[in-house]
Amino acid sequence: MASDTTPAQGCPTTLRRGHSSSMTTTWHFTGPPGGEVDDLGFECPWSDDKLDECDKTAEEMRKDYTKFWADYFPIVIRRRKRWEKADPRRNPSTLQRFIYKGVPAPLRKEIWLRNCAPRGAPRVVNVPESVVEAIRLDLPRTFPNNQYLRSERVRNALGRVLYSLAQHVPSVGYCQGLNFVAGLILLVLKDESKASDLLVQIVRQRQDYYNESMSGLQRDTKVLQWILTKECPEVVRTLKALDVGLDLIIGKWFLCWFAEVLPLETVLRIWDCMIYDGNDVWLFRVCLCLIRANRRQIGASKTLDQLIRVFGDITRSRKALYCHQLIESAKLERVSQKMIDELRSRFVAATMDGGGVDTTTDVDDLDLSRKPRLSLSRLLH
């Protein structure tokens, strides 16, 4: 991992160790089924020496992953050959289409940084101690099954990336969940300075997701809920019957860009599209696609616990694992950035006018002024 020659002023060069939490998802691993560690440093969770400690579900997941890899690997090889032959990097008119169909792993860093600007001078020099402490606490919890991030050097680099974010976007400082976003960026780019540039850029674009009231998160989950009234009305009827908003159910999807939610290869494919396009349309497309594919199960939920279990199953489903097919399906969803921006404007206008009665049907009546029903920590776990 490359790093800046000097750490940010005020940022401790050695960050306190903590106890690693248990692995939060089995789907970090992106290598071939027989491998032990993938290119990003994630360990295979179902290798023979570990399988005795796993339950039957782990064995079933290994079989699912083996089948997925057998289907997906030929696509990876075919797309890499197409990139080598056509080299779309020299032709902007075709580059987006190639990115949507899959970026070869060796080119991912270049594609992610293609439209990334330097982060510039920090807004503040000294970050509040409470922010530094929050970063310290979350570092050992960030992908504990990753060999690179278990090293003190790389973990400290991640701490400095998050500290730099707090300097450049003080309105956010640090927010739980951004450690996973920053960690994955650092693992892919393998460059501390460039990782800071990209993290600052993407958080600036949606910093109202991470403010105290999480106003952007509330707004966008309600925009999605309004879209669902047209596309999957049975889902919205269930949400209304259970008196629950999407911010409670899928807030983490938005906050973490699906990191720690979907299989890692799927996350990388989504991020390829999102980072290149520089907007949020893929967040909405993927959410809508996953919900549409499971709308009957969602609609059949009679309790909040059942609903939460269904959404948990969605993230571990075949639809979520088969990333190439998911991207192709999401691309067909009738959602554009222009549509999202127009709906956002109407939601904000409704809030400023003091409207706010029904949170499921009429966009002009949605109330965005309320505080989140759950704390950020509850949304992330």
Query: Do 86 and 11 reside in the same domain of the chain?
Result: yes
- How far apart CA 356 and CA 348 sit, in angstroms, is 11
Q: Is position 353 within any domain?
A: yes
The residue out of 145, 170, 205 marking a domain boundary is 205
pLDDT for position 51: 53
Query: Do 129 and 264 reside in the same domain of the chain?
Result: no
The residue out of 164, 185, 205 marking a domain boundary is 205
Query: Do 22 and 165 reside in the same domain of the chain?
Result: yes
Q: Is position 22 within any domain?
A: yes
Query: Structurally, how many domains does the chain consist of?
Result: 2
The tens digit of pLDDT for each residue in 120-179 reads 889 888 999 999 999 999 999 999 989 999 999 999 999 999 999 999 999 999 999 999
What is the CA 229 to chain-centroid distance, rounded? Answer: 24
Is residue 237 within 8 A of residue 299, CB to CB? The reply is yes
| DSSP 8-state symbol, 150 | T
Q: Is position 287 within any domain?
A: yes
Q: 347 is in which domain, residue-wise?
A: 215-379
Query: Do 137 and 270 reside in the same domain of the chain?
Result: no
pLDDT for position 352: 60
Q: Is position 111 within any domain?
A: yes
Query: Do 51 and 173 reside in the same domain of the chain?
Result: yes
Query: Do 193 and 240 reside in the same domain of the chain?
Result: no
Is residue 335 within 8 A of residue 288, CB to CB? The reply is yes
What is the CA 7 to chain-centroid distance, rounded? Answer: 27
pLDDT for position 178: 96
Instruction: Look up the CATH number of the domain holding residue 292.
Output: 1.10.472.80
The tens digit of pLDDT for each residue in 282-323 reads 999 999 999 999 999 999 999 999 999 999 999 999 999 999
Q: Is position 230 within any domain?
A: yes
Query: Do 133 and 152 reside in the same domain of the chain?
Result: yes
The residue out of 205, 235, 264 marking a domain boundary is 205
Query: Do 220 and 193 reside in the same domain of the chain?
Result: no
The tens digit of pLDDT for each residue in 199-243 reads 999 999 999 999 888 999 999 999 999 999 999 999 999 999 999
Strands (E), 135-208: none
Query: Which stretch of DSSP H or E encloses residue 33?
Result: none
pLDDT for position 92: 85
Q: Is position 191 within any domain?
A: yes
Q: Is position 307 within any domain?
A: yes
Query: Do 39 and 61 reside in the same domain of the chain?
Result: yes
Query: Do 147 and 233 reside in the same domain of the chain?
Result: no
Is residue 162 within 8 A of residue 174, CB to CB? The reply is yes
The position carrying tokens 């706010």 is: 356
- How far apart CA 162 and CA 230 sit, in angstroms, is 39
Q: Is position 210 within any domain?
A: no
Query: Do 345 and 305 reside in the same domain of the chain?
Result: yes
Query: Do 120 and 34 reside in the same domain of the chain?
Result: yes
The tens digit of pLDDT for each residue in 245-289 reads 999 999 999 999 999 899 999 999 999 999 999 999 999 999 999
pLDDT for position 56: 52
